[in-house]
Amino acid sequence: MLESIRLHNFKSFKDLAVEGFKRINLIVGRNNSGKSNLLEAMYIAHDPVNFELMIELNKARGIDSDWKYIRFFWNELFETLNIELIYKGQGYKTHIGLYEHVDFSKGKTVNNELGGFEGEGYSDNDKFIYYDGKIRLSEKRISISYKGNYQFSYRSKFVFESNNLNTEKSIDNISRYLEQGSIELAKEVLVEILDSDIKTINTAADDGRTIVYVTGSDGKGHPLNHWGAGTERIFNLILTMSECKDGVILIDEIDNGLFYNALRLLWDKVMYFAEKYNVQVFATTHSHECIQHLVESAVANNKKDDLAIFRIEKYEEKSIVVELDYEKVAQNAEFGYDVRGY
């Protein structure tokens, strides 16, 4: 299990250290405090020479993948980026930079190393160079360079805010599980979520839309959302967690698209399946109600020791992280005080 992370030169973080991670970790703070950036750093650190991760993250933020905007993908890496992860007392470090291939004249290539490296990863689809502060289209390649002392063998998933909000994507993901023959797993998950006997799960097309139908003990088929708003999204999230068995899941804005009355169900099931699948959960929110329901769920399920809540604060243009005391958070939630920071 990940115990701590240290960052240097990643987006809004010049230097940041977070320690004391547990099985369920909630990152809170005001808008633009850097919550999502922290999850992104964890995600990139899992596969530091995979170009597609940076593109995937930026697409999720609505940044166009057209070459004219490609410089936004790599800006963070033109300053040396260091990420240090601690897993169960063992430290793993990565040092990431960009390795330039710049053609000045007469075919002469000058290699300017922007960070030490022991391995290089190339992407045939990325033919750009960085020169005079700009990315330019080129027949030369740009490669990411790194050095590190770790080999990751665990699974990780990043659930983006846009995917939480998009019911159609949730249904597509559920359909994929059913098509892959994971019906028994899906039934097991859904029985736990709905607390009801499930006979069958299938999909059907209705006016051009795919709908998940569930047949209960009464023998009648009902659309999945018959059981309440947010059920589809929670079901999709738990299925995604099943893919991260013995690994890590990163969930940006976990409460987005869910009504207030679905938040308790969300946390109850996340806690249950995190233990069942041995998954470490990192999630962000700026919702007071989401924090309140997490605390209530931890108390009801006797999972207080599995929970850590961190608040990111801005102080004199620097970011700091404060671990919130569980008892104070519980008390503040009870009396309606805001713990998200300012």
pLDDT digits (tens, 9 = 90+) for 136-180: 333 433 444 444 444 444 455 666 544 444 556 667 777 777 776
> Do the beta carbons of residue 175 and residue 212 sit within 8 Å?
yes
Higher per-residue pLDDT: 290 or 182: 290
Place of tokens 């240090």: 84
Higher per-residue pLDDT: 83 or 88: 83
Among the listed residues 284, 215, 272, 202, the one whose alpha carbon sits nearest the alpha carbon of residue 238: 272
Residue 100 pLDDT class (50, 70, 90 cuts): very low
Q: Say yes or no to pLDDT of 309 above 90.
A: yes
Residue 106 pLDDT class (50, 70, 90 cuts): very low
Residue 130 pLDDT class (50, 70, 90 cuts): very low
> Of 69-73, 89-93, 285-289, which one has max mean pLDDT?
285-289
Q: 6-30 as b/e, with b when 16 or more CB fall inside 10 Å?
A: bbbbbbbbeebebeebbbbbbbbbe
Q: 228-260 as b/e, with b when 16 or more CB fall inside 10 Å?
A: eebbbbbbbbbbbbbbbeebbbbbbbbbbbbee
Higher per-residue pLDDT: 255 or 338: 255
On the CB side of 260, CA atoms within 13 Å amount to 3
pLDDT digits (tens, 9 = 90+) for 261-277: 889 999 999 999 999 99
CA 111 – CA 164 distance, rounded (Å): 42
Average pLDDT, the chain: 70
Instruction: Outline where DSSP puts E strands in 114-197.
Output: 119-121, 128-131, 134-137, 143-148, 156-159
Enter the CATH code of domain 156-335: 3.40.50.300
Place of tokens 């004199």: 316
Q: Say yes or no to pLDDT of 110 above 70.
A: no
Look up the pTM and report it. Answer: 0.74
Which of the residue ranges 60-69, 211-220, 249-258, 295-304 would you say has the lowest mean pLDDT? 60-69
User: 335 is written with which tokens?
Assistant: 């009396």
Domain definitions of the chain by residue range:
48-148, 156-335
Q: Say yes or no to pLDDT of 127 above 50.
A: no
Q: Say yes or no to pLDDT of 222 above 60.
A: yes
Q: Return the bridge partners of 106, or none.
A: none
The phi and psi torsions of 337 (rounded to 5 degrees) equal -80, 145
CA 267 – CA 32 distance, rounded (Å): 24
pLDDT digits (tens, 9 = 90+) for 310-332: 999 887 778 888 888 777 776 66
CA 279 – CA 224 distance, rounded (Å): 25
Mean pLDDT of the 47-69 span:
59
CA 201 – CA 316 distance, rounded (Å): 54
pLDDT digits (tens, 9 = 90+) for 191-200: 888 877 788 8
